[in-house]
Amino acid sequence: MASASDPKRQLKIKTGVVKRLAKEKQMYEKEVKDQSAKVEKMKADEKDEYDIKKQIEVLEESKTMIPDCKRRLKTAYDDLTNLVAETEEEFGTTEEYKMAKEILEKTVLED
């Protein structure tokens, strides 16, 4: 059985974390875009002020999640980058290592 300090297992776990957080960030960004459009349409259609206010609250909630998600993604990305650098010599030909490199190349970090 693999131990918690098993580098191959850590590569797999940290790769999964980066992948999940990148997907989460995309989801929140899409939610903000969709919710903004919904609020604008409600305003254009002159919907009830209370309903519009509630939808704006939902929009603001989604907006506040993005910076936190970006921060967590950056931390996970840096952790995986360091692990990849540390394990390249020993595990450079393994599937876990290749997946980690691929995720790092695909992941876009923003400030």
Separation CA 20–CA 72 (nearest Å) = 11
User: Tens digit of pLDDT per residue, the chain (111 long)?
Assistant: 445 578 899 999 999 999 999 999 999 999 999 999 999 999 999 999 999 999 999 999 999 999 999 999 999 999 999 999 999 999 989 999 999 999 999 998 876
Kindly state the tokens that stand for 84.
Answer: 């990849």
Predicted TM-score of the model (pTM): 0.84
Q: Which CATH architecture has domain 21-98?
A: Up-down Bundle (1.20)
- Domain borders along the chain are 21-98
Kindly provide the b/e burial profile for residues 74-93, where b requires at least 16 CB atoms within 10 angstroms of the residue's own CB.
bebbeebbebbeebeeebee
